[in-house]
Structure 1
Amino acid sequence: MVRLPLTPAEVERGQRLGALLRRARGDRSMLETALAARVSPETLRKIESGRVATPAFSTIAAIADVLGLSLDTVWTEINQPERAAVPVGSGRHNRERLTS
């Protein structure tokens, strides 16, 4: 099976996911969190560092549950609008308005 390279947007979402999980974990150890979520500490480390940008849904659901995060919160946090980084009046913004 050939795995396609991640898009820049997927990489960015993975980084936001990792940052969210690190913040939510706080002072709790990575080992304790991983074991409670029934994932390996290495998996959690890779997700938190952004090295696994597209983890399985069940993995994220288990970690979020242990950290007390709702899946709605996770979804909202990792899918922040990309257009916020695009300056007002840019060509991309105008094209979106025309096609919407």
Structure 2
Amino acid sequence: MVRLPLTPEEIARGERLGAILRRARGARTILDVAAAAEVSPETLRKIESGRVATPSFPTIAAIADALGLSLDEIWIEISAAASRARAS
């Protein structure tokens, strides 16, 4: 399967998601959160850095649960940031 290049919007959305997760992780280590979410630390690191701009839904759901975030909170914050970016 050939994967199409990401659009600038997808890249920006991935960066916003990473920033949200980093902020929510706070002082917890990547290792602690990754273990709680049952994902590899490298996967979490890549998502937080924006290198994985389109992570799978189950992965994000598991990370959100480990961080005590609702998927609605994440979506609202990503959407608000996108709106602010378009307005500027």
TM-score normalised to the size of structure 2? Answer: 0.92
* Aligned residue number for residue 63 of structure 2: 63
Map 1:27-66 to 2 at 5 A: 27-66=27-66
Structure 1: segments with no counterpart, 5+ residues: 86-100
Larger radius of gyration: 1
Counterpart of 2:52, as a letter, is V
Structure 2: segments with no counterpart, 5+ residues: none
Counterpart of 2:50, as a letter, is G
* Aligned residue number for residue 75 of structure 2: 75
Instruction: Give the conservation status (yes or no) of the 8 Å contact 1:14–1:78.
Output: no
Percent identity between the two aligned chains: 73
Which protein is richer in helix relative to its size? 2
C-alpha RMSD of the superposition:
0.9
> How far apart, in 1, do the equivalents of 2:35 and 2:79 lie?
27
Following TM superposition, where does structure 1 have runs of at least 4 consecutive aligned residues deviating by more than 4 angstroms? none
> How far apart, in 1, do the equivalents of 2:64 and 2:29 lie?
15
Q: For 1:71-95, what per-residue CA distance to the aligned partner results, in whole angstroms no more than 9, with x for missing partners?
A: 001111122324322xxxxxxxxxx
Structure possessing the higher relative contact order (Cα contacts under 8 Å, 6 or more residues apart) = 2
